[in-house]
């Protein structure tokens, strides 16, 4: 069975004001001292108001769910001990009128020098799914085939509608914020791994990026692990939604590995169509149309069911069909995290939003 791992980024918020608080070092240390968490599983992020967790390599979705629940509870308990709250939301609903403190690492200090306003606005949190691939060549060919599913995955994961205390009109404002970096969004088509490496090396040699870690494409080859890394997802309010997306991503990677082995051509979408479809998904989430494998617009639910049908053989092989399909059905009924944040805002204002985020971030699946 193909293995996977999940990374999640969280905010630390003041439980009264809902504003970000720069307590990541203290929270990480406290979480890492607990009996159920290793220091390597709780990591620093760009800003001191953010914490990242990384699961071990998982063989099943049950393992991934257990690790995410364990890590969320450990970080939440550490945050509470330091007077703040873990928030699994794609953007901070509120911000200070000043830049947030940057984590004191050379890499992050260099990023602040390179792009001070972008760094000041990086109160955004994603979920990254790593799926094992047999080799880097296969990984590049899978990337070429997965690009057409990025809009659907972005829409499903949308959980960042609020910014500076108001509704942005976007279901995934995080996607827009992150697209401002020089190498971001949908990756280009690569002929093979040599083409991938040549183009990445050119970016580094030209000093347009400092290292491959600044490839902020929505899918990339991992620089550290023998995996493909899908990065288009907002962090999820609920663990079970995160697990659903991880299962779908793994199934899509397995499906496209079969297509690579069969020498099936990758879908041929023009770059401008891919870019516009991703923007449209970030804007509307599941509230409008999405685009099918041929680039045609259909109701979002129809495209999600097409995605499920496409991935069903792989879901069956891993034993995940019932779990993932049920959670996709619930998503279409209950809405995305963005939908639920907006409903809370309408019912009770920003306090209701932060209460929702706090409660769902550590709720049992």
Residue 341 has pLDDT above 90, yes or no: yes
Range of the domain at 300: 4-361
Q: CATH number of the domain at 61, please.
A: 3.30.590.20
Residue found under tokens 């939604």: 241
95 or 34, greater pLDDT: 95
Please state, in angstroms and rounded to a whole number, the distance separating the CA atoms of residues 295 and 206.
34
Residue 150 has pLDDT above 80, yes or no: yes
| Bridge partners (DSSP) listed for residue 344 | none
Sequence-separated (6 or more) residues with CB below 8 Å from residue 15: 83, 84, 85, 354, 358
Encode pLDDT of 4-32 as tens digits. 999 999 999 999 999 999 999 999 989 87
Where are the alpha helices (H) located in 262-285, listed in sequence order?
271-284
**CA angle at residue 222 from 219 to 226, to 5 degrees?**
120
| C-alpha distances out from residue 47 to 215, 294, 332, Å | 19, 40, 33
Q: What's the residue count for the chain?
A: 365
pTM: 0.96
How many domains is the chain built from? 1
Q: What pLDDT was estimated at residue 365?
A: 74
Encode pLDDT of 70-81 as tens digits. 999 999 999 999
Please state, in angstroms and rounded to a whole number, the distance separating the CA atoms of residues 183 and 69.
32
Please state, in angstroms and rounded to a whole number, the distance separating the CA atoms of residues 105 and 250.
33
Encode pLDDT of 177-223 as tens digits. 999 999 999 999 999 999 999 999 999 999 998 889 899 999 999 98
């Amino acid at each position: 069975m193909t293995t996977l791992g999940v990374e999640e980024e969280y905010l630390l918020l003041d439980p009264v004001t809902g504003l970000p608080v720069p307590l990541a070092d203290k929270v990480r240390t406290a979480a890492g001292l607990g009996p159920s968490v290793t220091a390597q599983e709780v990591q620093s992020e760009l800003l001191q108001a953010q914490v990242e967790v990384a699961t071990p390599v998982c063989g099943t979705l049950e393992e991934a769910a257990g690790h995410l629940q364990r890590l969320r509870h450990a970080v939440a308990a550490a945050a509470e001990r330091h007077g703040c709250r873990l928030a699994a939301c794609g953007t901070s609903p509120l911000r200070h009128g000043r830049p947030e403190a940057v984590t004191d690492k050379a890499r992050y200090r260099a990023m602040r020098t390179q792009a001070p306003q972008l760094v000041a606005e990086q109160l955004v949190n994603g979920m990254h799914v790593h799926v094992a691939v047999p080799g880097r060549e296969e990984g590049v060919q899978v990337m070429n085939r997965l690009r057409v599913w990025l809009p659907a995955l972005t829409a499903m994961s949308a959980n960042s509608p609020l910014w500076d205390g108001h509704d942005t009109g976007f279901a995934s404002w995080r996607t827009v914020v992150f697209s401002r970096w020089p190498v971001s969004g949908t990756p280009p088509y690569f002929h093979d791994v040599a083409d991938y490496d040549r183009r990445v090396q050119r970016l580094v040699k030209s000093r347009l990026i400092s290292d491959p870690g600044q490839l902020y494409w929505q899918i990339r080859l991992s620089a550290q692990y023998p995996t493909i890394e899908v990065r288009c997802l907002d962090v999820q309010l609920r663990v079970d939604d995160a697990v659903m997306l991880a299962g779908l991503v793994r199934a899509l990677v397995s499906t496209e590995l079969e297509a690579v082995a069969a020498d099936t051509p990758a879908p041929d979408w023009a770059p401008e169509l891919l870019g516009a479809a991703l923007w449209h998904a970030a804007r509307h989430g599941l509230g409008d149309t999405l685009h099918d494998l041929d680039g045609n617009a259909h109701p979002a639910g129809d495209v999600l069911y097409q995605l499920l049908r496409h991935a069903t053989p792989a879901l069956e092989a891993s034993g995940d069909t019932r779990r993932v399909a049920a959670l996709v059905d619930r998503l279409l009924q209950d809405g995305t995290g963005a939908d639920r944040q907006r409903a809370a805002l309408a019912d009770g204002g920003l306090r209701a939003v932060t209460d929702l985020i706090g409660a769902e971030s550590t709720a049992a699946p």
